[in-house]
Amino acid sequence: MKNVWFAMPLFGLLLGPAFQCRADDALESAKYSTDAKWEIAGYNNEEIIYTILVTNQDSRIIHCNALLKGFYFENGEKHSISDRQGSTIFPGRQVAVGHWMGMDQSSGATYEVQCHAI
């Protein structure tokens, strides 16, 4: 067990332990699942949206970073894009870590998600 102590700044005294936590808990891998989906939106169904979803399957709050790589067209030229987004997710919740519009669905996209307990 690891004790966590709080200091009282007025008198310089230690008040604690305030709570105890096991060091092993912080080292255990976070449990989560990921999914991604393409959607068509907009007034004339002209906008393509790519969304990365993360579901927290852990009993702890987790923070996740998603890295996206894909392509889009501008003035007939194909360009690559990469982006990183982060989100904090409470237990049992699903969050859209990011939405990307205007990507080229036929070229596909790849993503990587890394999460850790906080």
Q: Which helix (H) or strand (E) holds 23?
A: helix 23-27
- How many domains does the structure of the chain reveal? 2
pTM: 0.72
pLDDT digits (tens, 9 = 90+) for 45-56: 888 899 999 999
Do 111 and 80 fall within a single domain? yes
In this prediction, residue 1 has a pLDDT band, given cuts at 50, 70 and 90, of very low
Mean pLDDT of the chain: 81
- The C-alpha atoms of residue 6 and residue 26 are separated, in whole angstroms, by 19
Do 50 and 21 fall within a single domain? no
Do 36 and 64 fall within a single domain? yes
CA triple 43-47-50, angle to 5 deg:
135
Do 105 and 66 fall within a single domain? yes
Structure tokens at 3: 């004790």
Contacts of 91 (CB under 8 A, 6+ apart): 56, 58, 59, 60, 61
pLDDT score, position 73: 85
pLDDT score, position 61: 96
Which residue range forms the structural domain that includes residue 1? 1-28
pLDDT score, position 27: 65
